[in-house]
């Protein structure tokens, strides 16, 4: 097993190699993110027979913003082509389809961990734990290649907790010395409230120009927060809820554990500076 995932595309969804699993296995409720209810295991009404979305280019205007900010981290093609050997859930026995739908969320969680571990291995400051991270990555990759029965029985929550210990240590090492000014006045006179904002309720918070460099925002709820022009360099953003967060002209250079789905759920501009691990969402504005 290689030390790292060699091709980043292995950790990004490839719909052409998947049987539309996210459109069938996962449930969603009518809300601002979805235009209708759908139970787990039932195909979305927009899913075509070829496993493609019938409204893919119009998801936002049709009320399916939730679909546009989702990524399986490559779990869809892994389950479709490797775990089940390319067997389509539409053409096989019902029991196989149910097992495929049960296994997909498990592998999705494992692939998300692979993404975090791969990013952690790319952080020079985390060198003291690189060996442990590498072993965790190799073990997690082996878990993704288990049989459907083994995957269905896997205690994925326990494995996530084990990996999280390493990710927390990685965060401490990566942020050490990075946020000397965090908690002080930001570039526009605001205060960030300190470097440790883990799990903080920051819904709608006015953090324009805040100095959050080197801050831990793990699991923080930043829904609709105003982070215009904020300094988020070298910040830990793992699990932060960035739905409708305004990142216009914010600086996220070197921010880590920031996923593409998180960024896709936020708002930003051409002036928003991003880490190399993510791309600028197409729906972002041209700035002010």
What is each CA distance from 128 to 163, 166, 170, 257, in whole angstroms?
16, 11, 9, 18
Q: In the beta sheet, which residues pair with residue 226?
A: 206, 246
Query: Between helices 94-121 and 156-175, what is the axis angle to 10°?
Result: 20
- Residue-wise pLDDT for 116-152, tens only, equals 999 999 999 999 999 999 999 999 999 999 999 999 9
Is residue 148 within 8 A of residue 84, CB to CB? The reply is yes
Instruction: Write down the mean pLDDT value for the chain.
Output: 90
> Is 60 exceeded by the pLDDT of residue 100?
yes
Residue 36 per-residue DSSP state: S
Residue 7 pLDDT grade (very low, low, confident, very high; cuts 50, 70, 90): low
Give the CA count within 13 Å in the CB-facing half-sphere of 14: 13
- As a whole-number percent, the residues of the chain with pLDDT over 90 amount to 85
Residue 182 pLDDT grade (very low, low, confident, very high; cuts 50, 70, 90): very low
The burial class, CB within 10 Å (0-12 / 13-18 / 19+), for 86 is: exposed
Residue from 50, 150, 49, 33 nearest 102 by CA:
150
Q: What is the pTM of this model?
A: 0.89
């Amino acid at each position: 097993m290689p030390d790292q995932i060699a091709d980043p595309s292995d950790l990004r969804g490839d719909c052409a190699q998947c049987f539309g699993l996210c459109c069938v296995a996962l449930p969603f409720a009518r809300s601002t993110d979805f235009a209708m209810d759908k139970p787990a295991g039932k195909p979305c009404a927009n899913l075509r027979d070829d496993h493609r979305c019938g409204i893919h280019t119009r998801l936002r205007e049709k009320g399916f913003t939730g679909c546009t900010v989702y990524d399986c981290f490559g779990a869809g093609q892994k389950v479709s082509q490797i775990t089940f050997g390319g067997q389509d859930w539409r053409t096989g026995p019902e029991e196989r389809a149910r097992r495929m739908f049960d296994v997909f969320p498990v592998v999705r969680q494992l692939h998300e961990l692979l993404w975090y571990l791969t990013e952690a291995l790319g952080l020079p400051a985390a060198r003291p734990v690189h060996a442990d991270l590498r072993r965790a990555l190799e073990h997690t990759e082996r878990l993704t290649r288990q049989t459907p029965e083994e995957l269905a029985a896997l205690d994925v929550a326990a494995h996530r907790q084990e990996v999280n210990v390493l990710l927390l240590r990685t965060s401490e090492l990566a942020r050490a010395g990075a946020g000397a000014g965090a908690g002080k006045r930001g570039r526009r006179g605001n205060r960030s409230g300190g470097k440790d904002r883990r799990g903080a309720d920051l819904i709608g918070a006015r953090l324009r120009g805040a100095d959050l460099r080197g801050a831990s925002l793990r699991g923080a709820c930043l829904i609709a927060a105003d982070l215009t022009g904020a300094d988020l360099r070298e910040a830990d953003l793992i699990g932060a809820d960035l739905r409708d967060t305004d990142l216009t002209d914010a600086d996220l250079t070197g921010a880590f554990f920031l996923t593409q789905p998180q960024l896709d759920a936020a708002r930003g501009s051409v002036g928003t500076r991003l880490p190399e691990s993510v791309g600028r969402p197409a729906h972002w504005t041209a700035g002010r």
